Structure 1
Amino acid sequence: MHLRPELLKGVFAAGFQAPSKIQEKAIPLLLHDPPQNLIGQSQSGTGKTATFTLAVLSRVDPTDPSLQAVILAPARELARQIMDVVESLGRFSGIKAALLVKEALKDTTAGGKVDAQILVATPGTVIDAAQRKRVIDMSKVKIFVLDEADNMLNAQGMGDQSMRVRGLIPRNQPVQVALFSATFPRQVRDFAERMAPNSNKLTLRQEELSVAGIKQFYFQCRDDEEKFKMLNDLYGLLTVGQSIIFVNRRDVADRIAQRMTADGHQVTALHGQLTPDDRDRVIDDFRAGRAKVLISTNVLSRGIDVLQVTIVINYDLPTGERGLPDPETYLHRIGRTGRFGRNGVSVNFVHDDRSRRVMEEISNYFSVEIKPLPTDDFELIEKTLKKAMK
């Protein structure tokens, strides 16, 4: 792949032995001279972050202290995760990287410049840093990466903010743009074309979208109370490494966490009402294995990358505006398991006609079978799920 020796050393030290499919295709395109833009579609857990990180590290001149690369993520949790990969793969490069999220920006003052050649940040923070605090200079940025563009557009105003960040780079400064997204509905395609014109494209067919290593099941429950009973019974039945339970509302996350904790499970809840420090602590505890079950809302269903996650539960199936099924969010959610070719399991909870229709439409969208599990035969449930996890 024509990587510099110090970057190859970082790759092997991080435990990579052979490139994934996306890495095999995208890295040569990103390293081509003269630089070309890239729009890439990639599933969770395929090595996408390492792909654009190696491209960024390759483009940066270690002898030039200027800011040369900006990587944007839609959420601080994902930005922290990307920063970990940049530090890991670049550990022998001598290149300086900085993580810039809202609370980090509070610690900077005008005149106290951010000392970094690579900036990993959320869009609004970059605008504040460049225009209000004037602690970064974008005039020498030569590679600009947007990760999870579909989530950028789902977040209020973040697509426009990303375009404004792109506009902070002078028109006469040649810049390579790389944009990645798990899904490409029409509004994401239009946004990508404006952000990265005349680009190389790597896309997946519709039937390739549902993660191959994830076995998908569902429970048909009578009502909300039976949903919780089945959830509790499931955790009493299985010994799983770690798991994530997705819900649609914060109050549901807190209520389930309280009830499961009272029943003796190691549970923690993650949602947007937590302070940034508390969110970091929850993620760090989960990554370190101090909490076995993470209950999360949609807003934080991305950027959680834990290899030990063996089961994802959709306690509430994801819906968007007007209660319509949200296949893109479903894909992001179940992509938290079955990462890097491992087997994983997702279990959906259905409790009325509406939730069943949502599941069926998602199943049809991805052309994938979601298999029923019995609610009254625990021996069969255990046997089925254990077999799926092998």
Structure 2
Amino acid sequence: MRVVNARILDECITMPESFTFSAFNLHPGLLAALPAQCQVPTAVQQQTLPSIIEGQDVLALAPTGSGKTLAFGLGLLQRLTEQQEIAQTAAENKSDLITAPYSRAHMRAIVIVPTRELAAQISTVLGPLAQSVSLTLTTLCGGVDVEQQIAEFNERPAQVVIATPGRLLDLLRQKLISLKAVQHLVLDEADRLLEMGFWPDIQKLMAAMPSLQQQLLFSATLPDELATQLTQLAPNAHRFAVGSQNSVVEGVSQTCYLVNKGSKAQALIKLLQEQLNQQQVLVFINARDSADAVAKKLNKAGIQARALHGEKDQTEREQALLAFKNGDIKVLVATDLLARGIDVTALPVVVNLDLPPSAPVYVHRVGRTARAGLTGVAVSLVCHGEAGALAAIRELTGEALPLQALPGFPVTDQPASDVRSKRPPRDKQANRRNANQRRNKSVKG
């Protein structure tokens, strides 16, 4: 059986065979560029593509791995292709009846994402599709030399740009790019953009897009604050919801072990050596410094591992991720930089060494496995101090997530509510005696 790119599979979860992408009247080039395994659209693609192609604003809520990239990507490329054909026809007829100015040298559409890794992944998926209809696509992200990036961009202007908000705003402030011709804006992982504090940057960027005509907002969750922001940005957006919000993807077997806080690293090593031997494992951890420390302990125990977090430079990040995807290392210890948008072919196991402080992040973390209809395992090592986080995850997902004992790791830590104060409270009589003594001393003085 031929091995297929995991991201493409994610975009092509099986639907009724009677419904194919040809039903959307997509450009022949786009249809031809779709892999053979990708002829049946997913639910989110079926629901949103007609509205996107018609030029309407869209707000789509869909779980991770449901096919959001191809949903907005195909719709966006179809719109741009139609505009390009109209402009060419008008030029041939020397007509002035063009609804909007069109220039191949100008950015027409921007997809804003929270991380460089997600930008690279989207470019990988949409690049061949854009090429099939003679559109140029590029990425503008941090971690790359600005002068080199702009030189390449000026040499080969792109109509579609995948960007992180920080780098895009920086280029705009330096007047190295113009957003005046942008007509289509996509915010992918909108909830994550909000969580990471990018919303003020996005508002500044939108203010620099006077020709903006269409906004496509894709998100896995819709917290109240985001709902308010999105209503302000696109009040007339057509809303679509696919699947149960905040639910864990089907096919994930979830296990939670109760361990001492100080025993987590050793418990992870035991799991990797005994239960998860020879499997690729993506380990999530909350703190950047801890990621490096844990990776070091794993290597010392003979387990090939690397750390990946936001303080690594772009080259280190790319090398670590590539080594993991290629199977050169078995374990990647990462912060939530990788909780969304990164796909590793048939990743079997995700481990939460720390529970995330935000319950929706748990859903995105475990969603790195069991993609494309496959099965996967999610293991969480939980200490008493994470009881609140576990309760929030249970409430959000509706999962029982019972705590199990991990053989060889007895729990000696006590729950916070059971821990006695280091200084026992004095009884009332002792308090009164001390108060009387202080008063007597005061009178004598």
Residue 229 of structure 1 is matched in structure 2 by 266
Distance 1:271 1:108 in 2: 23
In 2, the alpha carbon distance for the partners of 1:344 and 1:108 equals: 38
State the AA in 2 paired with 1:31: I
Counterpart for residue 177 of structure 1: 215
Distance of 2:392 and 2:246 partners within structure 1 = 17
- The code of the aligned residue for 2:25 comes to H
Correspondence 1:42 to 2:82 = no
Which residue of structure 2 aligns with residue 20 of structure 1?
Answer: 42
CA distance in 2, matches of 1:377, 1:101: 46
The equivalences for 1:112-191 within 5 A come to 113=154, 115-134=157-176, 136-156=177-197, 158-170=198-210, 173=211, 175-191=213-229
Match of 2:429 in 1: none
CA distance in 2, matches of 1:265, 1:36: 51
SS of residue matched to 2:377: strand
Aligned partners of 1:371 and 1:111: how far apart in 2? Answer: 53
Residue 218 (1) aligns with residue 256 (2): yes
Identify the residue that residue 346 of structure 1 maps to in structure 2: 378
State whether residues 71 and 146 of structure 1, in contact with CA within 8 Å, keep that contact through their aligned partners in structure 2.
Answer: yes
1:242 maps to what in 2?
Answer: 280
Determine the C-alpha separation between the residues in 2 that align with 1:18 and 1:356: 42
Quick check: 1:51 aligned with 2:92?
no
Task: Give the CA deviation at 1:111.
Answer: 12
Instruction: Describe the shift of the 1:187–1:272 C-alpha distance in structure 2 as closer, same or farther (beyond 3 A).
Output: same
Change beyond 3 A, Cα 1:208–1:154: closer
Task: From the superposition, tell whether residues 232 and 43 of structure 1 become closer, same or farther in structure 2 (CA, over 3 Å).
Answer: same
Per-residue Cα deviation, 1:74-116 (whole angstroms, up to 9, x for no partner): 1111111111111133342221011111225332569973610
Give the whole-Å Cα distance in 2 for the aligned partners of 1:366 and 1:96: 40
8 Å CA contact 2:185, 2:212 repeated in 1:
no
User: C-alpha deviations, 1:132-176, integer Å up to 9, x for none?
Assistant: 133x332322211001111111113x1111121111111xx2511
Q: What is the SS of the residue equivalent to 2:332?
A: strand
Distance in structure 1 (CA, Å) of the matches to 2:150 and 2:159: 19
Query: Given the superposition, is the C-alpha separation of residues 291 and 196 from structure 1 closer, same or farther in structure 2, using an over 3 Å criterion?
Result: farther
Q: Which residue of 2 aligns with 1:384?
A: none
Instruction: Tell me, in whole angstroms, the C-alpha distance in 2 between the residues paired with 1:252 and 1:7.
Output: 45
Q: Is 1:375 aligned to residue 385 of structure 2?
A: no
Query: Which of residues 164, 181, 193 is equivalent to 2:231?
Result: 193
Larger mean Cα displacement after TM superposition, 202-211 or 36-45 = 202-211
Alignment-derived partner of residue 381 in structure 1 = none
Alignment of structure 1 residues 293-304 onto 2, 5 Å: 293-304=331-342
Contact 2:57 2:216 survives alignment (8 Å): yes
1:2 matched residue in structure 2: 25
Aligned length, in residue pairs: 363
Residue 391 of structure 2 corresponds to which residue in structure 1?
360
* 1:388 aligned partner: none
Q: Distance in 1 between matches of 2:203 and 2:342?
A: 25
Residue of structure 1 equivalent to 2:148: 107
- Percent identity, aligned pairs only? 31
Instruction: Give distance in 2, aligned partners of 1:95 and 1:83.
Output: 13
Cα distance, 1:372 vs. partner?
Answer: 4.0
CA RMSD of aligned residues (A): 2.2
Deviations 1:286-308 (A, max 9, x none): 22222221101124433321132
8 Å contact 1:242–1:308 — kept in the other structure? Answer: no
| 8 Å Cα contact 2:259-2:405 kept in structure 1 | no
Counterpart of 2:136 in structure 1 is 96
In the aligned structure 1, how far is the partner of 2:333 from the partner of 2:320?
A: 10
> Per the alignment, in what secondary structure is the counterpart of residue 309 of structure 1?
coil
Show the counterpart of 2:360. Answer: 328
Whichever residue aligns with residue 21 of structure 1, its letter is: A
2:124 matched residue in structure 1: 84
What is the Cα deviation at residue 245 of structure 1?
A: 0.6
Contact 1:241 1:308 in 2 (8 A): no
CA contact (8 A) 2:360 2:393 kept: no
How many angstroms apart in 1 are the aligned matches of 2:334 and 2:44? 28
Deviation at 1:248, TM superposition (A): 1.0
Mapped contact 1:67–1:118 kept (Cα < 8 A): yes
Separation in 1, partners of 2:364, 2:308: 16
TM-score w.r.t. the length of structure 2 is 0.76
Counterpart residue identity of residue 266, structure 1:
Q
Q: Secondary structure of the equivalent of 1:255? A: helix
Unaligned runs of 5+ in 2: 1-23, 89-102, 410-445
- The Cα shift of 1:118 comes to 0.4
CA contact (8 A) 1:206 1:366 kept: no
User: C-alpha deviations, 1:196-242, integer Å up to 9, x for none?
Assistant: 220111125756622222221101113422x2222112111224542
Counterpart secondary structure, 2:34: helix
Q: Tell me the SS of whatever aligns to 1:244.
A: strand
Superposed CA deviations along residues 35-88 of structure 1, whole A, max 9, x for unmatched, are: 110011111111111111111211113564132110000111111111111113
CA distance in 2, matches of 1:289, 1:98: 28
C-alpha separation between the residues in 2 aligned to 1:109 and 1:271? Answer: 26
1:282-337 CA-to-partner distances (Å, cap 9, x unmatched) read: 12222222222110112443332113211111110011xxxxxx112111111111
CA contact (8 A) 2:346 2:370 kept: no
Contact 1:47-1:340 at 8 Å conserved across structures: no
Is the 1:240–1:311 contact (alpha carbons within 8 Å) kept by the matching residues of 2? no
> 1:221/1:148 Cα in 2 relative to 1: closer, same or farther (>3 Å)?
same
